Each structure stands twice: as C-alpha cells, then as structure tokens.
Copies of this chain bind each other. A is one copy, B any other.
Amino acid sequence: MSEVHPLQAVYEPLAVSVRNLIDVAIRTEADAATVLAATELIDAANRELSVALMPDSFGLRTTPDGQGTAWGNVAIGVRNPVAPPLVVHHEADGRVWTEFVLGAAYEGPAGHVHGGVCALVLDHVLGATAHQPGRPAYTGTLTVRYLRGTRLGALSAHARVARVEGVKTFAVGEISDDRGVTVQAEGVFIHPKQPPPSEAEESPAG
C-alpha cells in the first residue's frame, strides 16, 4: 500500500461532498426558500475556497514522493467532482478494466447514460492500455458503436490492446451492464516521438 498524500486527505472529501451536491442539485424538489438558503451556503463555501486558487487548471502535479498525480482529470481525478471518478485497474496481460456507477449527473436520454459520456469512459479506458508512466499516449481516432441504451447505474468497462504498430496502439473495448455489452469502441492511441510544445507536459491519456 502506498501512502496517501497528506493533502489528499483534505481535498478528496471536499470533492466527494461536491459530487454529492451535484446529484442533489439536479434532483432536489425543495421549495424556493430552501433552495435559496442552500445556494447561499454554497456561495459562502465558494468564497472560502477562493482565498487561494491555482491559475487555470490542475494539470499534472508531483507529490513530495515524486509521483505524478492527475487529480483534476475529468475521468479519474479524485479532486474533480465531475469525475465518477474511474479507478482503472491494469492486469499483468495488459488488459484494463474499471467498475463504476453513473447517476443523474451523466444523463442523456431519460434514465440512460448520455452517449457522449460512454465515449468519454471508453476514450479513457482504451487510452489507458497505451499510456505508460513517462510515455503518454494521445487519442488519434476513436470509433464508438452503440448497441443499445446504457441505463444509469452500475457499469463496467474493459479494454485491451489489439495490436501495436510503431508509435500507434490499436485498442478495443466495451461498456457493459448486468445484461451484457451496451457500447463497443476501437481507438488508435499515439505516443508522440517528440511532444509538440503545447503538450510537452507529461500527462495521462485522455
């Protein structure tokens, strides 16, 4: 077990609370006075947290023990309340998988996951087959096939490398619910030989 970074113990519960708030803000049927009072509490929290802000975005930061963190990432970032967040598991044979729950915040068609959110999950999980520490991979092409609607709830995603050609990794994968596969994808992920200046920072696939 690697040690949890001390700051994570402060910021991760904040993200968890905001993640809950997103869900509740969508689903509340409280009356106008209650919503107004809650909004004032949220604005007060906003002011407190804004006393010290990093410019722009989280980016990729390094913890004191030298590990890179992508806590702001929209798919996996433990500090990003928009992220489910995905916990991506890597098997010894190169397969990648994750189990996750998508609620009201990810809705497209009524009761179903937005097709674009399925694409986001698949982009990240397929990309994770190609990404290596110190050797990021960027999506070149992603093709997503929707077999049927994906209901909001408990889901899983799996991906594997189909083949590698030079700097290109061809990956395939799918999202499944408890009745089987709902969405399939294939993608080409590229390890730039020399990252362009605007993307020179080391960063995870996505």
| Contacts from A to B (Cβ < 8 Å) | 10-11, 13-15, 17-18, 20-22, 24-32, 34-39, 41-46, 48-54, 56-60, 71-75, 77, 79-82, 103-112, 114-117, 119-124, 127, 136, 138-146, 148-149, 151-152, 196, 198-199, 201, 203-206
* Set of chain B residues within 8 Å of A30, measured between Cβ atoms: 48-49, 51-52
Contact in complex: B111, A57 (CB < 8 Å):
yes
Copies of this chain present: 2
Contact in complex: A46, B24 (CB < 8 Å):
yes
A189 to chain B, nearest CB (A): 10
Contact in complex: B10, A36 (CB < 8 Å):
yes
Docked Cα-Cα span, A109 to B200, in Å, equals 10
Interface of A is mostly: mixed
Contact in complex: B112, A116 (CB < 8 Å):
no
Q: Which of A58, A115, A198 has the most CB of B within 10 A?
A: A115
A68 to chain B, nearest CB (A): 10
* Set of chain B residues within 8 Å of A24, measured between Cβ atoms: 46, 49-50, 53
A54 to chain B, nearest CB (A): 5
* Set of chain B residues within 8 Å of A36, measured between Cβ atoms: 10
* Set of chain B residues within 8 Å of A27, measured between Cβ atoms: 53-54, 56-58
Contact in complex: A17, B43 (CB < 8 Å):
yes
Query: Quick one: closest B residue to A7, CB to CB?
Result: B32
Contact A41 B41, CB 8 Å, known A106-B74, A108-B75, A138-B109: yes
